[in-house]
Amino acid sequence: MEIEKQYVSSSNVEAIGYHEESETLRVWFLNGTTYDYSGVGRMEFEALRDAPSVGSYLARNIKGAYPYEKSE
């Protein structure tokens, strides 16, 4: 699945992306790992993208709330 990177200003996250049909949020971390979070709605993705701190929003609202898997 092809997901376009949207680069963000964060000390931990390089970029985020969203696949509408599958409701998949992809997060590229600065350490080189990439994770796909399933079942993330469009509004949640937009809130993450627009958050003052992407890393904090991710920790508070995404991690632990949605199933995820490491992406290749």
Query: CB–CB of 26/67 below 8 Å?
Result: no
Residue 1: pLDDT band (50, 70, 90) is confident
User: What is the pLDDT of the chain when averaged over all its residues?
Assistant: 97
Task: Please tell me the distance from the alpha carbon of residue 52 to that of residue 38, in angstroms, as a whole number.
Answer: 23
Q: Choose among 33, 39, 34: nearest CA to 66.
A: 39
Query: CB–CB of 11/55 below 8 Å?
Result: yes
The pTM of the full predicted model, rounded to 2 decimals, is 0.95
Question: Rounded mean pLDDT of 17-24?
Answer: 98
Residue 35: pLDDT band (50, 70, 90) is very high
